Amino acid sequence: MRSDNVKKGVSRLPHRSLFKALGFTNQDLEKPLIGVVNSYNTIIPGHMFLNNIVNAVKEGILAAGGVPQEFSTIGICDGIAMNHEGMKYSLASRELIADSIESVAMAHGFDGIVLVPNCDKIIPGMIMGALRLNIPAIVISGGPMLAGRYKDKSIDLSNCFEAVGGYSTGKYSDIDLIEIENEACPTCGSCAGMFTANSMNCLSEAIGIALPGNGTIPAVYSKRIRLAKEAGVKILELVKKQIKPRDIINLDSICNALAVDMAVGCSTNTILHLTAIAKEAKVEFSLELVNEISKKTPNLCRLSPAGPNHIEDLYFAGGIQAVMNELLKAGLLNGNTTTCTGLNVRENIKDSEIVDKQIIRTVENPYSYDGGLAVLWGNLAPEGCIVKKSAVDASMLKHKGQAVVFDSEEEAMQAILSKKIKKGNVLIIRYEGPKGGPGMREMLSPTSAIAGAGLDKDVALITDGRFSGATRGASIGHVSPEAQEKGPIAIVKNNDLIEIDIPNNSINIIISQEELAQRFESFKVPDLKIKHGYLYRYAKMVSSASKGAVLE
């Protein structure tokens, strides 16, 4: 066992004494030592009951003959961090999470590790840390929130953000806002739509490092506790068989995750995270692969914000396993990849069928015959950019409009709420990339204000920042190279004509090569916005979004 390095032999007498200070018995010292990573805190609704999940995991580990040792990592609630300086820290926290897991696990010689996240950057950060360690690992999340109700319709957090824009146009009264505020987030859990947290929890199933059901069993269901106990038992099997994260996560399983991503219409952030996960798995990954899989994978689900349904509806319709079986039967999934169950994908999903074909459509009757995400290239984004096309109105799939340029999210938000944005405009928000932000903020507030004002079918938004999974409309992010790295987005001017062609994967400024070159000649890169602390170090070291915005 790996933990023998801290437990066995005369030279480890001091170490054993410290373990005994923790209450270890001689029998405990003979058993596998399993780290349990708990991202519990009291500030994230998705994490407030994670201690219940962790306790169930530890019960499973003990029952299976292991010794659980719990430690913590940080977490940030993207919803609370949204639309102010705090959002600069969200993506940057992913690296701290991976680093902290690597540090604690390496220092204490764990034989295996159970990862207990729920929201946003915490899930990919934990998976990245596990891949870096490459010791047996399994993910068990806290589960999704149930949807709320408002005027006999299901609502979620995205409705709150959109209500801000709706209020400015008179769509909602003060009383309406209070009711939406009180009802949109009714339980603990990761916010109820196919936003980033739920996207990554679902993809952790698809990629094989989480048990079936991880992405969709509601947070408040006792079935989630039972799944956590099963994860605690299963980690001991993985240790015994020495099935490690890099045995599970490889090019084939990443392609499976991308296929599910396209089928269910996940957040654009998944591409950023899968790119980073691929790097830690030592897998060659390109944005071209995203479009290759998108073009052949039908979009089967339209969950919030792309449609009226929520994760609980996906759960009752058969969950991610039913989606995967539908793709497998169509030859769009590799059924032979290894998973944390000890079985391959085909064995895991053989009995999973679609229960409700209104929630999960068949490949013969999809919402579209290609996937929910697309990568665009052109002279505005030579290294690519991402759009959630399943959440774009058909009328905006091809769009040409005049640029209205802002150098920060705050400037853009003020213009939107002041009703300075007109139909047909293309908003450009730059210097919000990994370096320029720094931290690549999510633009949920601007996109929601646009949608709330009824302009999401008329206005496009392009940024070197990124978008929340709760974003809908023609919202194009991750523009690479970013403005701070002298990307073409830095030299766009007001009233430049921008042409967006999502079906043909292109995005361009309609100016000549000569004009483009002349603008670059006179362009000077501005100083970094922040020159101290963690964000300064992050900005100095972070890669392009096209490479996953990882530290180099």
Give the residue numbers annotated as catalytic, written as ranges: 468
| Contact assessment for residue 523 and residue 517, using Cβ atoms and an 8 Å cutoff | no
CB atoms near residue 288 (< 10 Å)? 11
Tell me the backbone φ, ψ of residue 168, rounded to 5 degrees.
-65, -20
Place of tokens 């047909």: 424
DSSP assigned state of 309: B
User: Which phi-psi region, left, alpha or beta, contains residue 49 (left: φ > 0; alpha: ψ -120 to 50)?
Assistant: alpha
**What is the rounded distance in angstroms from the CA atom of residue 186 to the CA atom of residue 453?**
25
**What is the rounded distance in angstroms from the CA atom of residue 199 to the CA atom of residue 311?**
10
**What is the rounded distance in angstroms from the CA atom of residue 338 to the CA atom of residue 327?**
17
| Cβ-count burial 339-368 (b if 16+ within 10 Å, e if not) | bbbeeebeebbeebebeeeebbbebeebbb
**What is the rounded distance in angstroms from the CA atom of residue 305 to the CA atom of residue 64?**
41
| Contact assessment for residue 397 and residue 505, using Cβ atoms and an 8 Å cutoff | no
Place of tokens 């400037």: 411
What is the 3-state composition of the chain as percent helix, strand, coil, each rounded to the nearest 5? Answer: 45, 15, 40
- To 5 degrees, how large is the angle CA 454–CA 456–CA 459? 110
| Cβ-count burial 495-505 (b if 16+ within 10 Å, e if not) | ebebbbebeeb
| Contact assessment for residue 207 and residue 270, using Cβ atoms and an 8 Å cutoff | no
Sheet of strand 137-139: strand arrangement: 67-72, 33-38, 112-116, 137-139
Report which of 481, 170, 131, 177 is spatially closest to residue 277, judged by C-alpha positions. 131
Q: How far is CA 485 from the centre of its chain?
A: 24
User: Residue 305, exposed/middle/buried by CB under 10 A (0-12, 13-18, 19+)?
Assistant: buried
